[in-house]
Each structure stands twice: as C-alpha cells, then as structure tokens.
Amino acid sequence: MNDMLKNILLWLVIAAVLLTVFNNFNTTSETNRISYSEFVKEVQDGRIAKVIVDGYTISGTRSNGDSFDTVRPAASDPKLMDDLLNKNVVVEGRMPEQQSIWTQLLVASFPILLILAIFMFFMRQMQGGGGGKGGPMSFGKSKARLLPEDQIKTTFADVAGCDEAKEDTEELVDFLREPSKFQRLGGKIPRGILMCGPPGTGKTLLAKAIAGEAKVPFFTISGSDFVEMFVGVGASRVRDMFEQAKKHAPCIIFIDEIDAVGRNRGSGMGGGNDEREQTLNQLLVEMDGFEGNEGIIVIAATNRPDVLDPALLRPGRFDRQVTVGLPDIRGREQILKVHLRKVPCDDDVEPKNIARGTPGFSGADLANLVNEAALFAARSNRRLVNMEQLELAKDKILMGAERKTMVMNNEEKLNTAYHEAGHTIIGYLMPEHDPVYKVSIIPRGRALGVTMYLPEDDKYSVSKRGLESQVCSLYGGRIAEEMIHGFDGVSTGASNDIERATSIARNMVTKWGLSEKLGPFAYEEDDNSGGYISGPTGSKANYFSPETGKVIDAEVQDIINRCYETATRILHENRSKLDVMAEALMQYETIDAKQIKEIMDGKKPSAPEGWSDPSADSPDSGEEKPAPEAATEETVDASDVDGVSGEASRPAGE
C-alpha cells in the first residue's frame, strides 16, 4: 500500500510540473502591452519602427527603441498592412510552432492515465492488496501465508488432551521425514487429513505441530480467502497456491474452516453458488487429478463435516478424518499443565483438581481459565497464582461474574435462598445425580442465585433414573417457594428450570425411547445443519400422527407429574434441613459441598473458609448481612443456571 501511495504522489507531482510548464508557454509579459487601438495610432503617427506578426500577437519596437506587444482582434483589418508599409515599418512574420506528436499524445492522454491510476489503486484496495507481492491485477494470486520450517516452533509437546488425534497424525511426520521407509512397502503418503471437532479443541494447533515436528514449510489460509467478488478468482487462487506448494515440496497446506468453500455442490439457494463451486472443483482437481502433487499434504479443519461435498471426503483427497473432541479429565489435566507452565504458580496448585471440576471444557476454555486466574492474581497484587484464583476463575466461567452492583431486599433474598436450598436438597438425595459443588445467592449473570453440580467423572450417557433425578432437582426450587409462600407466592425465577425439565421429559419420550407406552421409537429428529458437532440443534422434524402426538403429550406430562410429586415428598420430609440451609445461605451467601454435607447430616454448618462475621464489629448484630449494592432486577429475566456441568454430563444423543 505504501508503494502505491508513492506512485500516486509521483503522478500528482508530474501533473503539477506539466501544468506549470504549460502555463509558462502561454504566459506573456504584461509590462509592455498596449491596446490595439493605441498601436494603430502609433503606426499612423510614425512612432513604430519594426513589428513581428505571430498569429493574433503583434510585437515589435518603437522608433525610440522601446519594445511593445499587442493582441490583434479577431476581426480582419486589411488597412493595417498598408499603413505599416506606407510608414516604412519593417514587417516580419513568424511560423507557428508545431508540437511533436508525442507531446500532443502526452497532453491528451494525461487525464486518462491519471484516472486509470486512481482506478487501479482502489481496485487493489478492494482486493486486499497493498505494496506486497503482486500488482494491481494480482486478483488470482494465492493469499496463503508461508511459514518456513525454521519459523515454526510448535511441537507435539505443546499439544495435549487429544492423544488419539496425535497418534493419527504422527505417521505424517514419519512420512515427511522418511518417505522411503513406506514407499519400499508400496505405501503412499496420505493426500489429506480432515480435522473435525468443536471449536477450541486444538485443530489448528495440531496442524502446526505436525509442520513443526516434520520441519517442512507450512502454508496457511482460510477457506473464505479463496472466494472474492470476481468470478474465477477462487479457482485461480487454488491453482496458484498449489503451484507455490510444489516449489516448496514436501510441505503442508492448512485450510482453516474449509466448509466456507467445500460445501455440498448444488445445495444453496437457487441451485448453488457458481463461484464457490468453481473453486471447489479446482480444489478437487488439484488434490487428486491427473497431475500428482507428490509431497504436498493438505490438512483442513472444520466444525461442520456434515455439509462438505462427498467428492472432497473420499479417499485420495482426504484419506483420513481425525476427530479432535473435547478432552477427558486426563486430557484436561495435561492441557492445564501446558498452560500453567507459562504463569508463576504457587505450590498449592493442583491441575488434577481443576480438571475434575471442569467437565466439558475445551482447550481454549482451559487456556481462558488460566488467563482469568492470572488476571485475578494481578488485581490482588499477588506474585503467584494459587488455587483460590483458579477457583474464582472457574466460578466466573461456569456461573458468570458476580453482580456486586445488584441489591435485593431481604424478602427477595430469602425467597432466593429457599429456591436454591430446594434445588440442593433434591440434587443431594436423588439417585445418580451429580454431586452439589456450590450454592450461592449472590447474583451472577442473569441468575439471582446459582446451584452448581459437578460430576465426579466424565459422563457420556445418562440412565432413565438419572434423567428423572435431574427433572426432580429442577423442580426443587419452585416447590420450596410454594412450601414457604403458598401457590400465590411462587415467583417467575423457575422459568428456566421449567423449560429445561420439560425439554428433558420430552426428549425421554420422543428421542431416547424411555417411555414404556410408546416404546423405543424416534418421534422427533434434530436438524443439525445449523449447529456444531455435539452443539446446539436446529429445528425438529416430527414423525408422528396427531393421535400419537396426544399420547406423547400425556407421557411427558406423566413424567413431569411423577417427578414433581417425588420432589415435593422429599422436601416435606426434609423441611427442617431446608430451613437450616436457607438460613445458612442468608448468613454466608455462598456455601460449598462441606457445609451442605454438614446440614444434610443434621449438624450446624461451619463457616466457609476465610469468612468473617460482618456483624462482629457492629452494634446492630441482630440485623441481616446486607446484600451487594445496587438496584433490584426484575426476576422474570433472572432464570436459574443450576446444574452447570458442561458438555460431558449431557445425555448421549442430546
């Protein structure tokens, strides 16, 4: 871009010089100019000695030697020449100067050249060009960025939590280092590897580690960089990218988010996108066409393998599909060790304990957790990161940041305490339910209170008993409110609980085959075309008649009614513990698993670690502990976020 600006400035300087020169050509001296009538009178009086006629311009000298010039009017004056000759004035003529053809062309074409230069500058900017490689017409040049082997410092030691994916890709390193080892047995190097998985699991990091281990050049480009506003540009860029790769073979080409260019052909609105399909066709030919691209390995990453074209996924193009999933507890521990090496840690930091409390976290989530802990430590002016900061960071990510500027009056605070105590008691006593990790009535995010469950181990499926236990615990908060205030005093704080409980009950009937009356049939199917792998689902397609729909509704209602009755019975049987837990929440605002166990064992809960009684130094010791400052928020939007346990605790198929 700097070079182009210099060129534009140079053209402007040349234009200014030319305009100055042209103006000088047409400039005449104003000091001795006289009017034409004055000139005629001087001729008639005999005061003119010599004249030079140059078109309409007449210049000369007087009898006394003074020079002059004048401009003849466009009207003809045939008497002038007679007067000049009669007065013995020397008359000279001058041939008009003829400009060369090149000068005329330069003058005529200069505005056009200036307009072209400006047009080319703006077109270059539209194409993302600048002063780098290529010129204004380099639309078809590849935008792939080349990282030489000596610049890639990432190795497999920097990749953790995806051992199976590493094993699948470690062979590539051997292929690139010692191809003869496999070729003598007839083996061929894989053409491509497709890495699939949720966001943040380390697909790009793994591809870079392969290049770092093999010590080969690494081309990196995004799928969206191929397609531009001009037809044919994408295909041209694919050709140029593989031409560059051939010059650096053996090498690796990494295409991030390949679904931007590799979508199924003919599946778009109106029959597809011609430019994107041309780009895909060229990519298919380059990866496995008549010309072999020996030594070039294409690694692509995507969250959406389901939308890719089948021709792209066949062996010979992407020979392997490597799934980089969410890490398990051992993988999370390894990832945390990698990230904790980069921050100064206290001796009490236990990565295993943090890994146990972060099911469903991706590598990016864990990196964010360590960074948040470092920020907490910096704000506290600490030199080392300890477990306290890591726990604070985990709570912030799982439950949201504390809303310290929000104030609830004692009535709302008490209602929230009973609501969360109801969730906690049901979750504690129901079979196959995740253990309660922490309960708080401090507002976090959109919730007025939080009851958080954490599984002891990673879960990949849930039984019918476990699902019914979840439904029971979700209704525990509403039932506790009803026990204290009556049906007319129930608040809107359970709206999210009701929504989640209804969703679980409906999925039990329509998706998971957990209804004895309806049997193991799938009555609804998720349309996953709009979501990530194991991510949010889209619209649902129904496969049942209106009569079956009535039976489904009845079964869903039966599950909810049974769970509601079970939760109500349990809370009535533990009414005294409900009161004690609500009282503890009013006093301490947050209690953990230790205090919860003491309450459920019939003991008085101990004070949380590091807690100091704010009323100890106050004469008004009988008053309630004040809530955090600020205005009360409407409880309609303050839905619970109970049971935050991450992706790992979701039922299979959800």
Fold matches, 139-323 and 410-609+623-649: no
CATH class of 329-399: mainly alpha
| Sign of the Cα pseudo-torsion (123, 126, 127, 130, in order) | positive
The three-state secondary structure class of 650 is coil
Q: Which long-range contacts (CB under 8 A, 24 or more apart) does 581-584 make?
A: 581/417, 581/421, 581/424, 581/425, 581/439, 581/605, 582/414, 582/417, 582/418, 582/421, 583/417
- Chain position carrying tokens 């359970």: 494
Please, where are the H alpha helices in 52-162? 78-86, 101-126
Please give the pLDDT value at position 374: 93
Q: What is the chain's Cα-based Rg?
A: 41
Residue linked to tokens 């398990």 = 328
Residue ranges for the binding site for Zn(2+)? 419, 423, 497
From the options 3.40.50.300, 3.40.630.10, 2.60.120.200, 3.40.50.2300, give the CATH code of 139-323.
3.40.50.300
pLDDT for the residue 96: 62
C-alpha triplet 488, 492, 493: angle, nearest 5°: 125
Dihedral pair phi/psi, residue 499, rounded to 5°:
-65, -45
DSSP-based three-state secondary structure for 378: helix
Token representation of residue 344: 């100064």
Q: Which pLDDT score, from 0 to 100, does residue 297 have?
A: 86
Question: In a 10 Å sphere around its CB, with 0-12 CB exposed, 13-18 middle and 19+ buried, how is residue 631 labelled?
Answer: exposed
Q: How is the chain split into domains, by residue range?
A: 139-323, 329-399, 410-609+623-649
Q: Which strand (E) or helix (H) includes residue 501? A: helix 495-510
List C-alpha distances in Å: 182 to 177, 185, 211.
11, 5, 19
* All residues at 6 or more sequence positions from 621 whose CB lies less than 8 Å from its CB, including other chains: 615
Q: What is the DSSP string of 102-123?
A: HHHHHHHHHHHHHHHHHHHHHH
Q: Provide the β-strand partners of residue 452.
A: 438
For residue 43, the SS3 value is: helix
Per-residue pLDDT at 260: 85
Inter-axis angle of helices 464-485 and 410-429, nearest 10: 150
Active-site residue numbers? 420
Q: Which CATH superfamily is domain 410-609+623-649 in?
A: Peptidase M41 (1.20.58.760)
What is the per-residue pLDDT for 166?
A: 83
The pLDDT averaged over each successive group of 10 residues in the chain (654 residues) is 62 70 54 81 85 83 86 78 81 70 74 78 56 46 69 82 82 78 77 88 86 84 74 79 85 88 69 72 79 75 88 87 88 90 89 85 91 92 90 82 71 87 92 86 77 76 90 92 87 88 93 88 65 47 80 93 94 91 88 87 80 53 39 34 37 34
- Give the pLDDT score at 140: 53
Predicted TM-score (pTM) of this structure: 0.64
Q: Which helix (H) or strand (E) holds 193?
A: strand 192-196
Separation of alpha carbons 511 and 650, rounded Å: 14
HSE-up of 620 (CA within 13 Å, CB side)? Answer: 4
Distance CA 507, CA 499 (A): 12
- Count CA within 13 A, CB hemisphere, residue 349: 20
Q: Which of 261, 273, 267 is nearest to 312 (CA)?
A: 261
Cα 202 to Cα 208: distance, rounded to the nearest angstrom: 10
First to last CA, the chain: 50
Q: How many CB atoms are closer than 10 A to CB 580?
A: 19
CB 605 within 8 Å of CB 591: yes
HEC profile for 339-366?
Answer: HHCCCCECCCCCHHHHHHCCCCCCHHHH
Q: Angle CA(597)–CA(601)–CA(607) in degrees, nearest 5? A: 50
Residues annotated within a binding site: 197-204, 419, 423, 497
